């Protein structure tokens, strides 16, 4: 579509803010107007980051072993994943996006759904430089079940306890509106955890304290066990509105 300078300015300012939070330099970009491809008001935005690291500091996850602890850093909301379902629910349920949310009368529903994805770089970098972290899994599309196994070596399995943190009101709202089973929540949304941090058991307390001091909300959400490379999320009756004890498992092929 034809470029709206006001929108373009806001988009670039937002990208710059994300770079500032992550300590990145914004070094280039281009804009193309294709009215034959995009309808008025439609935009497509793509970007990438390039980083450099000493070879012996690359976070491969090879050192992850049974007995390691998994910490979870709280997400700020939907984190840009699961929006196809969110948009479908909004249309099917007739959500009033410009009204206060039913579960938070102080904020508009649209503002809660569009809350910027939390950027964890500043909190995690000092610990990475210390060698205190064995693995990091950004919880994006595929949820906890499909993202955590990506950082695990063969012969290890992550076990996540859904009772270890309180389900956010937003996630409870989405689950209720979509009549989504807990097992499906675990592979669709981040369920309140935006980043999983794998650490040695003896360092878990110190790492959690450092992340808390850096401004993160930290939960001890699970552990690594011996087994098939994958992830299991389990909860008790009433956890994530379950009618009975439940278990969801994903084996990483």
Number of CB atoms found within 10 A of residue 114's CB: 13
Count CB neighbours of 250 within 10 A.
Answer: 21
In this prediction, residues 64-70 reach a mean pLDDT of: 98
User: What is the pTM assigned to this prediction?
Assistant: 0.93
Q: Which CATH class is domain 59-83+116-251?
A: alpha beta
Position 1 scores a pLDDT of 57
Please classify residue 33 by burial: count the beta carbons closer than 10 Å to its beta carbon, then call 0-12 exposed, 13-18 middle and 19+ buried. exposed
Q: With 60 as the cut, is the pLDDT of residue 164 above it?
A: yes
Q: Which 3 state secondary structure label does DSSP give 185? A: helix
**Is pLDDT above 90 for 180?**
yes
CA angle 10, 11, 14 (to 5 degrees): 85
182-197 confidence digits (pLDDT tens): 999 999 999 999 999 9
Pairing outcome for strands 156-161 and 230-235: parallel
What residues does each domain of the chain span?
A: 5-52, 59-83+116-251
Chain segment 119-128, per-residue pLDDT in tens: 999 999 999 9
Residue 30: alpha-carbon gap to chain centroid: 28
Residue 220, pLDDT score: 99
| pLDDT, averaged across the chain | 95
């Amino acid at each position: 579509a034809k470029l709206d300078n006001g929108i373009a300015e806001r988009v670039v300012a937002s990208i710059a803010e994300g770079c500032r939070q992550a300590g990145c330099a914004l070094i280039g970009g281009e804009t193309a107007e294709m009215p034959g491809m995009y309808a008025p008001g439609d935009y497509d935005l793509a970007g990438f980051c390039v980083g450099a690291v000493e070879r012996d500091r690359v976070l491969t996850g090879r050192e992850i072993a049974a007995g390691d602890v998994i910490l979870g850093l709280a997400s700020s909301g939907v984190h840009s994943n699961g929006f196809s379902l969110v948009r479908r629910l909004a249309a099917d349920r007739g959500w009033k996006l410009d009204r206060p949310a039913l579960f938070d009368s102080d904020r508009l529903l649209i503002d809660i759904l569009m809350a910027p994805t939390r950027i964890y770089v500043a909190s995690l970098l000092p610990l990475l430089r210390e060698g205190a972290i064995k693995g990091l899994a950004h919880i994006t599309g595929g949820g906890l079940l499909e993202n955590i196994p990506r950082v695990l070596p063969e012969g290890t399995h992550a076990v996540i306890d859904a009772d270890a943190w309180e389900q956010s009101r937003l996630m409870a709202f989405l689950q209720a509106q979509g009549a989504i089973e807990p097992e499906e929540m675990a592979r669709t949304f981040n369920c309140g955890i935006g980043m999983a941090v794998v650490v040695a058991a003896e360092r878990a307390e110190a790492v959690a304290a450092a992340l808390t001091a850096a401004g993160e909300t930290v939960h001890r959400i699970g552990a690594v066990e011996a087994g098939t490379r994958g992830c299991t999320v389990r909860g008790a009756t009433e956890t994530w509105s379950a009618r009975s004890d439940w278990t969801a498992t994903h084996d990483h092929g």
